[in-house]
Amino acid sequence: MQENAEKLLFALYAEAGSKKPQLANINKQLGFEQQALGRAVNTLYAAGLISGVVIIFGDEDRSPERVDIDAILLNRRGVKYVEQAVNINTDSSLTEKLQKIIAKAQDRGWKEVQTVAAQALAEYKSNQQV
């Protein structure tokens, strides 16, 4: 799978564990350029790992490609892909899941994904202490 697509998928999985997930804002944290985001979203959508996106392929001269991720959702197949890739047991706690995402992101040098997962983990832990 394309690396940016996989980064996006892992970041969506981590963000879904946040107190108030904002999946549509994930690109701001990843910092993809519009074209890279379009390719990643198209790859994930074509593989059936996400839904809720609109991809418009324009012609390069008059109207560029446009990707709308305002309603992006990580579907069951996407969750399963991430959990298999990182060896996450479906019965694992959210803390364990996010820790595995952080470790995988660190191994791959995906600092942005690591940050998303670490923020979600920090939010979760702070809610547990309340």
Coil, helix or strand at residue 63: coil
Tell me the mean pLDDT per 10 residues along the chain, length 130. Answer: 95 90 89 89 95 78 71 94 95 95 97 96 82
Q: What are 45's two structure tokens?
A: 């959508």
> Are 6 and 17 within 8 A, CB to CB?
no
**What's the CA gap between 68 and 50, in Å, rounded?**
13
Residue 61: per-residue pLDDT: 60
Residue 24: per-residue pLDDT: 85
**What's the CA gap between 58 and 45, in Å, rounded?**
18
Whole-prediction pTM value?
0.89
**What's the CA gap between 65 and 55, in Å, rounded?**
7
